[in-house]
Amino acid sequence: MSSDVRFTDFKSDKQPTWCPGCGDFGTMNGMMKGLAETGNDPDNTFVVAGIGCSGKIGTYMHSYALHGVHGRALPVGTGVKMARPDIEVMVAGGDGDGYSIGAGHFVHAVRRNVDMTYVVMDNRIYGLTKGQASPTSRSDFETSTTPEGPKQPPVNPLALALAAGASFIAQSFSSDALRHQEIIQKAIEHDGFGFVNVFSPCVTFNDVDTYDYFRDNLVDLKEADHDPTDYEAAKNVITDGEKEYQGVMYQDENSVPYHEQHGVTEDMSEIPDGAPEDAMDLVREFY
Amino acid sequence: MAEDLNWAVGGEAGDGIDSTGKIFAQALSRAGRHVFTSKDFASRIRGGYTAYKIRTSVDQVQSVVDRLDILVALTQRTIDENLDELHEGSAVIYDGERSWEAEIPDKMTAVDVPLKSLAEDAGGAIMRNIVALGAACEITGFDVEYLDEALEKRFGGKGSKIVENNKEAARAGQEYVQENYDLDHLGYAVETTDNDYVLLNGDEAIGMGALAAGCRFYAGYPITPATNVMEYLTGRIEDYGGHVVQAEDELSAINMALGAARAGARSMTATSGPGIDLMTETFGLIATSETPMVIVDVMRSGPSTGMPTKQEQGDLNMTLYGGHGEIPRFVIAPTTIAECFWKTVEAFNFAEQYQTPVYVVSDLAMAVTERTFEPETFDMDKVEIDRGKLVDQDEVDEWLDAQGHFRAHAVTEDGISPRAKPGTIDGAHMSTGLEHDELGRRTEEEDERVQQVDKRNRKVETAKNEEDWDYREFGDADADNLVISWGSNEGALAEALGYLEEDGIDVRVISVPYIFPRPDLTEEIEAAEQTIVVECNATGQFADVIEHDALTRVKRINKYTGVRFKADELAEQITERLSEEVPA
């Protein structure tokens, strides 16, 4: 790890193909700055992404990265972190990727409390397939596949995480650059699963959950005197259906990450040239 | 009487049939006898007939036969299910005090032992099976002290009191038979030797092979008959700094293993057919991102959930062709339990040398069968580890492009690119399931697409040329009749040769552990007058590829009842097929 890392070191020379004005630009910038500010560099960082607009992030960033299959980024991140506790792992996904096809993995990654940062770019719509309802779309949100709206309540990812026993739950807004970066940094620094749902507006297909909407409606917990270590207070904020919040909602200060709970400390990529020295003991067990 | 002793215990699932059988198998193995075990079980926890069978001899045994000499029957169904295999010299041990009235044909010897009461006297009804083992020792003249050793191994961890009680229970069974029966006329005398054998099954051998090969990460989801691989690794892999994760499903399991592999660890998952279906989603990603990984498929009867506790070799096509698009892969199917160990070691080397997913295809018959081996069979000094083109810090520069980007998918002559694990400075790169350029970045350029497809496929060509895709051969090398087999049928085939020889039929047997790449058997087939391919499936999946390779028709023996081949049955079928006309 070198001390002179700048956030641009995490930038690849590929030009993003995201639509001009897409919230994902701001989300990614915050991730790169957060990584640099917390002392990481591209060679000790692994970024995993699934499918969708969010999934492209690994191409636009520079680090070790895997762009995998739809909804399965969290298990990949888990594998990386377990094999290499020395590596900083960041997982990026979208609301479809993470809360629809990947909902099962989300719940289990949360409860395992694997030490990685999970950033979900939540634009409340399927962008890359050109505008269908997502799990976080409002129940009356009209799209090509839901002409009268989904007619079902949206998933509350923060509540899902809380119910699964999350140790860190936060929400940010991609265009509030400083605040977003600050929240990402806290998630990276958290010992355990750092979950950040990021409002990352889709300017092409979502004309409801717009920049203006979030600017006008977001309540910043920094100004609301919220104590994230207070579970009850966190629950109230997270289940408040009336308002949209940004900030760290909940943080368990006694969080012990999965690999520590399981005594995993070693870099698993280093192995001997042959069988382990005492390997014949494995055979003798069968006497 | 017969050198070969066939013993079984049967009852309802939940009656402790498995542990009883295992204890006796271990006792016999400790006594320097060869052991081959098999299980009949149903897919339920309690209730349903289940049996554990042991064939034992001072000579090597490697298949099941249709004969039972000693049967411990905890239910009438145990007797009914095995009636065909019982004979005049058989002894059936049962508990006459229990509520069922045992119906045992007159011609065999019924040995009524109050298993439950004797067990209660020794400290608990739970030990009634151990009483039965003591009785079996007396009937067969097998020294009960060997049983003591197995009991110590089994219950040692639970305290000396438990061990002593069990020993007492065994003695009670032994003494009861001694005092109440004179069974010398049965003529059983179980000879012992000074040999020290190890007794293990296919799943355990795969797990042991993984540890020997440096596997450090395993993620899986429980499924019959592959779960035992995960159970074996759990608690042992930690000794080497590794870890097992029980994932929420197979999709997660294979993706976790993929993550660990990309992080540079030797990584594996194991499942059975239904799990492979789910994992197939990620299979293409592993191949196209050129990630070294081992995937174990312990086959059971399909399709769908099929018969979860029954034998079949029906997944060959899926492992060979599964996944959309065109995917380079290796498929290795061990033919013996010992090969489960060695081929797993080899699979890890192939995976890293060629940066591909490698299937290790085993089956239920191999997974649940325990067999004795000389410990040297698993000589750990012979384990070699080849990590392929994993670049160290000094070598990274050789693989950077003009802008300093690491060429993780560099187009090379042998098709194999360099591999940098995280932490390697300047090695940072992107991997993706999308078609990509040399740097791993998305491309739809025609030239780059073709280059990458060719590059990945070239790895297979390189492997075909570099490696020895051999097979095992036995029987008469000059025989006109050729029998080809894959997977776990080898043992039964080897023993079938004895029966065929008695009938004056010479056969050359080729047992193939490599499905892809595989040896070219064209010459062997052309040299033979008749070729038969033996496999446990209905359509002859291996026979199909053999016909394709050799451009000729072969005869087939297919069994898909859910039960493995038996030696005598195979001999009969081979004889029958040889007399049939060659297919057009």
Instruction: Please report the ipTM that was assigned to this predicted complex.
Output: 0.98
**Judging by DSSP bridges, how do beta strands B514-516 and B330-332 pair with one another?**
antiparallel
Whether residue A1 lies within 8 A of chain B, CB to CB, comes out as no
- Chain B's closest residue to A286, CA to CA, is B198
Could you write out the DSSP letters of every residue in B190-229? ----S---EEEEHHHHHHHHHHHTTEEEEEE---TTTHHH
Distance, in Å, from the CA atom of B169 to the CA atom of B112, rounded to the nearest integer, reads: 16
pLDDT of residue B319: 98
CA triple B327-B331-B332, angle to 5 deg: 165
* Residues 25-54 (A) with a CB less than 8 A from some CB of B: 42-46, 48
Look at residue B584 in the predicted model and tell me its pLDDT: 63
CA–CA distance, B8 with B81 (Å, rounded to integer): 12
**Contact (CB<8Å) A13/B259:** no
Query: Which residues in chain B have their CB less than 8 angstroms from residue A85's CB?
Result: none
Q: Looking at CA atoms only, how far is residue B338 from chain A in angstroms?
A: 12
Chain A residue numbers touching B208 (CB-CB < 8 A)? 282-283
Contact at CB, A67 and B433, closer than 8 angstroms: yes
CA within 13 Å, CB half, B229: 40
Which tokens hold the place of B334? Answer: 């061990």
> Which amino acid, B482?
L
Q: Do A105 and B252 touch (CB under 8 A)?
A: yes
Question: If phi over 0 gives left and psi between -120 and 50 gives alpha, with beta otherwise, what is residue A235?
Answer: alpha
A207 Cβ contact list (under 8 Å, min separation 6): none
Note whether B430 contacts A82, CB cutoff 8 Å: no
Q: For residue B182, count other CB atoms closer than 10 A to its CB.
A: 8
Residue A86, min C-alpha distance to chain B (Å) = 9
Is it the case that residue A2 has pLDDT exceeding 60?
no
Name the DSSP letter for residue A179.
Answer: H
Residues of A in contact with B249 (CB under 8 A): 104
- Provide the whole-model pTM: 0.96
Of A42, A272, A283, the CB nearest to B214: A272
Q: Check residue B185 and give its pLDDT.
A: 85
Do the Cβ atoms of A63 and B428 come within 8 Å? yes
Q: From the candidates B432, B434, B444, which should be mutated to test the interface with A, based on the most A CB atoms within 10 A?
A: B432
Chain B residue closest to A102 (CA)? Answer: B252
Count of CB pairs separated by less than 8 Å, A with B: 210
Which amino acid does the sequence have at B387? R
Residue A42 Cα, gap to closest chain B Cα (Å): 7
Per-residue pLDDT tens digits for A92-146 = 999 999 999 999 999 999 999 999 999 999 999 999 999 999 999 999 999 999 9
| CA–CA dist A269, A213 (Å, integer) | 47
To probe the interface with A, which of B201, B430, B432 has the most A CB atoms within 10 Å?
B430
Residue B422 CA to residue B427 CA, distance in Å, equals: 7
User: Which candidate from B30, B256, B431 shows the least CB-CB separation from A66?
Assistant: B431
Q: CA-nearest residue of chain B to A275?
A: B212
Nearest CA to B72 out of B127, B7, B25, B149 is that of B7
Please state the three-class secondary structure of A43-67 as a single string: HHEEEEECCCCHHHHHHHECCEEEE
At A1, the pLDDT band (50, 70, 90 cuts) reads very low
* Relative orientation angle of helices A23-37 and A177-189, to the nearest 10 degrees: 50
Query: How does pLDDT run along chain B (584 residues), one tens digit per residue?
Result: 347 999 999 999 888 999 999 999 999 999 999 999 998 877 766 678 899 999 999 999 888 888 999 999 999 999 999 999 999 999 999 999 886 788 888 889 999 999 999 999 999 999 999 999 999 999 999 999 999 999 999 999 999 999 999 999 999 999 999 999 998 888 898 999 999 999 999 999 999 999 999 999 999 999 999 999 999 999 999 999 999 999 999 999 999 999 999 999 999 999 999 999 999 999 999 999 999 999 999 999 999 999 999 999 999 999 999 999 999 999 999 999 999 999 999 999 999 999 999 999 999 999 999 999 999 999 999 999 999 999 999 999 999 999 999 999 999 999 999 999 999 999 999 999 999 999 999 999 999 999 999 999 999 999 999 999 999 999 999 999 999 999 999 999 999 999 999 999 999 999 999 999 999 999 999 999 999 999 999 999 999 999 999 999 999 999 999 999 999 999 999 999 999 987 66
- Phi/psi for B394 (5° steps) reads -70, -25
